Amino acid sequence: MKITWLGHSGFRIEIGDQVLLIDPWLRGNPSFDEAKFDEAVAGATHVLISHGHFDHINDAAEVCKATGAPPVCIYDAAGKLSEATGLEAIGFNKGGTVMLGDVAVTMVNAVHSYGEGAGSEAGFMISHAGRTIYFSGDTDVTADMGVFEALHQPEIGILCAGGHFTMDMKRATYAAKTFFNFKTVIPCHYKTFPILEQSAQVMKDGLPGVDVVEMDVMAPQEF
């Protein structure tokens, strides 16, 4: 699989027969070069939205319209996104699984706030061919993470870790080593603004034996 960081909490994940965009905030994102918009969204099959804060949902409609990729989100927000995009949104809820081509996406709990519109904050388990990625969305550490590990055994964790609005590097590190058996952890939701953490060194120091990858924006990596 191939993962590309789009800055902040945005990712492009090429997995199975899918090209998934998650929380693609590309306009006004200090971490993203808008000249690379077309490159970032090319070939997208679905757009996953974790919650309704501007830095996650603001560009969803534009991206969906540009690519024809339907939004995938919590059920209560599906109607609004269908209207905004002109596409039939795929609405589901926590604990539910949808098949996007040959990729299974399960919505899991997160602890945050939702933002504009109806619904609730969430994360995703993304699985194909026996491999699973956990995208935490915006969250704090929760005991639910032990259930996530028991049910899904994700090998890659994409964890918010910037602090202030979400768990910070210390708390994300605690979550990773207490509840999961990750091979790889990719921190996100950091470095975007001065108020957020600027380095993942705490996570690297705290997770010996785990490959902590500080990705560069628009630099895809194979996993």
Residue 116 has pLDDT above 70, yes or no: no
Question: How far is 77 from 91, CA to CA, in rounded Å?
Answer: 7
- DSSP secondary structure letters along 127-156: EETTEEEEE--S----THHHHHHHHH--SE
Residue 50 has pLDDT above 70, yes or no: yes
Residue 61 has pLDDT above 80, yes or no: yes
Question: How far is 162 from 97, CA to CA, in rounded Å?
Answer: 28
Backbone angles phi, psi at 201, to 5 degrees: -60, -35
Minimum mean pLDDT range among 30-39, 49-58, 144-153, 197-206: 49-58
Q: Identify whether 126 is part of a domain.
A: yes
In the chain, the amino acid numbered 129 is A
CB 31, CB 217: distance < 8 Å: yes
Could you tell me the residue range of the domain that residue 77 belongs to? 2-214
Burial class (CB in 10 A: 0-12, 13-18, 19+), 117: middle
Q: Identify whether 221 is part of a domain.
A: no
Residue 118 has pLDDT above 80, yes or no: no
Q: How many CB atoms lie within 10 A of CB 92?
A: 18
Q: How many domains does the chain have?
A: 1
pLDDT tens digits for range 94-114 = 999 999 999 999 999 999 988
Q: Identify whether 89 is part of a domain.
A: yes
Residue with token string 């600027």: 198
CATH of the domain at 164: 3.60.15.10
- pTM value? 0.97
Over the chain, what is the mean pLDDT? 96
| Average pLDDT estimate for 2-10 | 98
